C-alpha cells in the first residue's frame, strides 16, 4: 500500500492573516512554512497568498525581491491559493488598483478591490460551490474584492445570488474573495492541498 506524500506548503507571510492559514493547513496534515524570502519558495508543493492589503503586499513583495520569483513559480505550475487580497495578487488584471500597483498574475480574471465597501460593511453569506461536495460554503467577506470578468482560461466556481463571481479556479490556481480560514469549513483548503499533494507525488 502506498501512502500519499505530505505536501510542504508555504504561506506568504509579508502581511495579512497568514497565521490563520498556517494553522488550518497544519490541521489538515500539511507541513507548513511561512514565506518571506525567495529561498523559502524552494522545495514547496504549494503556496497560499492570504488576505491583507493587496497594495502593501505588492510593495513588500518587490522590496523583499520576491515578486519575480513568485511569478516564475506561478508560471511553472505551482499550486497557489489566494484569499481576498491574495485573489487580487493572482489576478491578471486589477480594475481599480492604486497608481503603480501590480499583481503577480496567473488567473485570467479582472478583479475589483474593496468591491463590497469598507471594513464596516463586511458580511457573511452562504455561497453555492458545486465543485465542493456538501452544503453551500458559509463565506466571510471582509473588505472583499469581486471578480468583474472571468477570461476563457479561468472558471467561476462560486457565485453570489446577484451573479457576482467570488471564487475562481484555473488549473493549479484558485482564488476566493472571502476568508475560509476564519470559519470551520476547510473544504477550499482541502481542495488546494489535493493540488499540492498531486505536485508532491510527481
Give the model confidence (pLDDT) of 140-194 as tens digits: 999 999 999 999 999 999 999 999 999 999 999 999 999 999 999 999 999 999 9
* Whole-structure pTM value: 0.95
Which CATH number, 3.40.50.880, 3.30.70.120, 3.40.50.720, 3.40.1010.20, labels domain 8-200? 3.40.50.880
Q: Which residues are catalytic?
A: 84, 179, 181
- The residues spanned by each domain of the chain are 8-200
Give the model confidence (pLDDT) of 104-134 as tens digits: 999 999 999 988 876 656 899 999 999 999 9
In order, the DSSP letters of the chain are -PPPP--EEEEE-SSSSHHHHHHHHHHTT-EEEEE-SGGGGTT-SEEEE-SS-HHHHHHHHHHTT-HHHHHHHHHTT--EEEETHHHHHHEEEETTPPTT------EEEEEETTTT-SGGG-EEEEEB-TTSSSSPEEEEESS--EEEEE-TT-EEEEE-TTS-EEEEEETTEEEESS-GGGSS--HHHHHHHHHHHHHHT-
Give the model confidence (pLDDT) of 71-85 as tens digits: 999 999 999 999 999
Q: Which three cell numbers stand for residue 15?
A: 502581511
Amino acid at each position: 500500500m502506498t501512502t500519499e506524500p505530505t505536501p510542504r506548503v508555504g504561506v506568504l507571510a509579508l502581511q495579512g492573516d497568514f497565521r490563520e492559514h498556517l494553522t488550518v493547513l497544519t490541521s489538515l496534515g500539511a507541513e507548513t512554512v511561512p514565506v518571506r524570502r525567495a529561498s523559502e519558495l524552494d522545495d514547496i508543493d504549494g503556496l497560499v497568498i492570504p488576505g491583507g492589503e493587496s497594495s502593501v503586499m505588492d510593495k513588500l513583495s518587490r522590496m523583499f525581491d520576491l515578486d519575480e520569483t513568485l511569478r516564475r513559480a506561478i508560471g511553472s505550475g505551482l499550486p497557489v491559493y489566494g484569499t481576498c487580497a491574495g485573489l487580487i495578487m493572482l489576478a491578471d488584471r486589477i480594475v481599480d488598483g492604486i497608481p503603480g500597483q501590480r499583481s503577480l498574475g496567473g488567473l485570467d480574471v479582472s478583479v475589483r478591490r474593496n468591491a463590497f465597501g469598507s471594513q464596516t460593511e463586511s458580511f457573511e453569506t452562504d455561497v453555492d460551490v458545486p465543485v465542493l461536495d456538501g452544503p453551500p460554503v458559509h463565506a466571510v467577506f471582509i473588505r472583499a474584492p469581486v471578480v468583474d470578468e472571468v477570461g476563457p482560461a479561468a472558471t467561476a466556481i462560486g457565485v453570489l445570488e446577484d451573479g457576482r463571481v467570488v471564487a475562481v479556479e484555473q488549473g493549479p490556481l484558485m482564488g476566493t474573495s472571502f476568508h475560509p480560514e476564519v470559519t470551520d469549513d476547510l473544504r477550499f483548503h482541502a481542495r488546494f492541498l489535493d493540488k499540492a499533494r498531486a505536485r508532491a507525488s510527481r
